[in-house]
Structure formats: C-alpha cells, structure tokens
C-alpha cells in the first residue's frame, strides 16, 4: 500500500469517524448538562416558589396578627372618645376587614 492510499483508506476515515463520535458525545453530554442544570430547575420553579411563599407567610403571620391585635386594642381604648354608635361602627368595620383578609378575595360569606 502506498502512502496516498493509506491517507484515503485509513487515516481519513479514522479521522472522520473519530470527529463524528466526539461531536456526538459532546452534543449528548451538553444536552444532559443542559437538562440537569437549566431545564430541571425551571420545571421545579413553581413548587420552589410556593414553598418559599408559604415559609414567608408562616414567618410573617405572627407579626401581622400582633399588629392587628395592637390596632384593635388601640381602637377600643380610643372608643370612649368616639361615642357608642361610632365605636360599634369602628369595631364592625375592623372585624370585617380582618375577616376579609383571612378569607381572601374569593372567600365565601356566611
């Protein structure tokens, strides 16, 4: 076999086959890494967000309840200045507001 025949029948096919296999391997590895690093976390994003929102709500709820309680007590302390009719109206309004907050916008009224 002469040198030009070795190039055409051995070296060139080996180089092409090696390049195709390397390219395919790199492509498949890139797809796998893309899915694991980008696609999979994006798929789980709504669940992760809802968990974080619930954790934040659990953390903030005691402070919110304390502020509502302090506001309600402050309104009761100031009620003698307002008169009985106005006091009842303020209390009813405060209770409706608190009820609406805890039921949410789509909550059913009883």
Residue 68 confidence (pLDDT): 79
Q: How far apart, in whole angstroms, are the C-alpha atoms of residue 53 and residue 55?
A: 5
Q: How far apart, in whole angstroms, are the C-alpha atoms of residue 11 and residue 17?
A: 10
Q: How far apart, in whole angstroms, are the C-alpha atoms of residue 80 and residue 74?
A: 11
Residue 106 confidence (pLDDT): 54
Q: How far apart, in whole angstroms, are the C-alpha atoms of residue 27 and residue 32?
A: 9
Residue 64 CA neighbour count, 13 Å, CB half? 9
Task: Kindly report whether the global pTM for this prediction surpasses the value 0.75.
Answer: no
Residues of the chain with pLDDT under 50: 109-110
CA 98 vs CA 46, 71, 74: distances in Å: 29, 11, 15
Residue 9 confidence (pLDDT): 81
């Amino acid at each position: 076999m002469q040198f030009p025949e070795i190039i055409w029948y051995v070296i060139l096919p080996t180089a092409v086959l090696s390049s195709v296999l390397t390219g395919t391997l790199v492509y498949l590895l890139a797809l796998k890494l893309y899915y694991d690093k980008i696609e999979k976390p994006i798929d789980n994003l709504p669940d992760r967000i809802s968990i974080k929102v619930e954790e934040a709500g659990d953390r903030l709820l005691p402070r919110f309840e304390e502020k509502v309680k302090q506001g309600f007590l402050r309104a009761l302390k100031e009620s003698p200045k307002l008169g009985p009719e106005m006091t009842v109206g303020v209390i009813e309004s405060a209770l409706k507001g608190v009820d609406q907050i805890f039921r949410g916008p789509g909550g059913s009224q009883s």
